[in-house]
Structure 1
């Protein structure tokens, strides 16, 4: 297994000899306006450039997983540059119809027992923030667990905060590697949309033998938790040996 942090929630997972692109936001730095009701309203998204070329990201690609359709997870550039015949996995039928409307021809809704080239893909639960009012606005999200007899179990949690659903996924699948979206991105009115440092700590406590990788950091205007702060916090709480906080372009092999 090899995991490469591209930018924001965009990662490349090479698993059982297949290459997956997850949540592609591929636009050049500063292409899009800021998200409303957030900090840094004088900036444009993404805040940083891609660490490599789009050609490199797409080279040898076998499938794409889109956990939900927010701009910072599936943008206009991704819609334009991804091959229309590529295998696309999405969270539900509504997302499938929208992706198909963008011209993609090989779209499948993730299930509990999806099989792709011998790899089991398990759709997992998530909540994109706290509070019923926010969740009505923000919509549904998912994560995914990867399983294969030749690989460690990988859990990509997606855009979720820590809550009992994440605990249940950890208890059920007992992942060896956990990727969390840990930038504590926030709406001013509603608070956190994804995990902050305390959420990441809860993940570690629930799965103390797993390696946690925190992504979705410092790339769009509403982030509030920096890489450096998370690293310092992990030292204070004595779990720094169990967490990785990659820079854009950094890879890990397991």
Structure 2
């Protein structure tokens, strides 16, 4: 198994002989306006270029879209991906919207979804805390399981809360991917994990490798890679934490 961090939450996962493209955000640097009511209003999204060619990134056996926010499913993804590629999403509402873009092979993830012998287990997430949840909307994560591979938990756009802890307790993932840019609007607090959330993940799964992504790629980020690495050093879990640069690939 290997994981390549593309940019923001976009990943490629080679798992049990299949390649999954997750949360494709594929536009060129600066293609979209800054997210409003947040930091860096003078910077357009995405803040950085793709680290590889578009053709190589979209070369996959299946796509997983955890939710439909622009930085997880954008116009370039809609235009570039094959309309018959197997595509998994969190609910019927998202599935219908994706079908409206011409995709013909869309399936809603369940707790017992199987693709080519690989278990895809939908998990819950909370895209922030408090009132911001009504604005942020529903999201999901995914646990990947196969008898020949380590268990992988891609948490998605969620903060640390009891359901994330339950997933870790139930599935005992050996690799956990967290979205941990501590992205925020001017009011409403964190939308995804910050440093303390990542520490909580580590404390719940002290032997797991944790990959922290969704960092420094859209204007409303609040936690840098450098600051998270420093925090991990100070709290003695840097050996278990990977904070990848865009394009980096890791074998597990």
> TM (normalized to structure 1)?
0.99
Question: CA separation in 1, counterparts of 2:111 and 2:166?
Answer: 14
Partner of 2:201: 203
Partner of 2:179: 181
Partner of 2:105: 106
- Note the C-alpha offset of 1:137: 1.0
Partner of 2:224: 226
Q: How does 1:1-254 map to 2 (within 5 A)?
A: 1-59=1-59, 61-131=60-130, 133-254=131-252
Structure 2 residue matching 1:96: 3-state secondary structure: helix
After superposition, the CA RMSD in angstroms is 0.5
Question: CA separation in 1, counterparts of 2:206 and 2:167?
Answer: 14
- Note the C-alpha offset of 1:135: 1.0
Identify unmatched segments of 5+ residues in structure 1.
Answer: none
Question: CA separation in 1, counterparts of 2:214 and 2:84?
Answer: 27
Question: CA separation in 2, counterparts of 1:41 and 1:216?
Answer: 18
Structure 2 residue matching 1:78: 3-state secondary structure: helix
Question: CA separation in 2, counterparts of 1:135 and 1:199?
Answer: 17
Q: Structure 1: which 4+ aligned runs deviate by more than 3 Å?
A: none
| Residue deviations 1:67-94 (CA, integer Å, cap 9, x gap) | 0000000000000000000000000000
Structure 1 residue matching 2:121: 3-state secondary structure: strand
How many pairs are equivalent? 252
Question: CA separation in 1, counterparts of 2:197 and 2:124?
Answer: 16
- Note the C-alpha offset of 1:37: 1.3
Identify unmatched segments of 5+ residues in structure 2.
Answer: none
Question: CA separation in 2, counterparts of 1:179 and 1:153?
Answer: 11
Structure 1 residue matching 2:212: 3-state secondary structure: strand
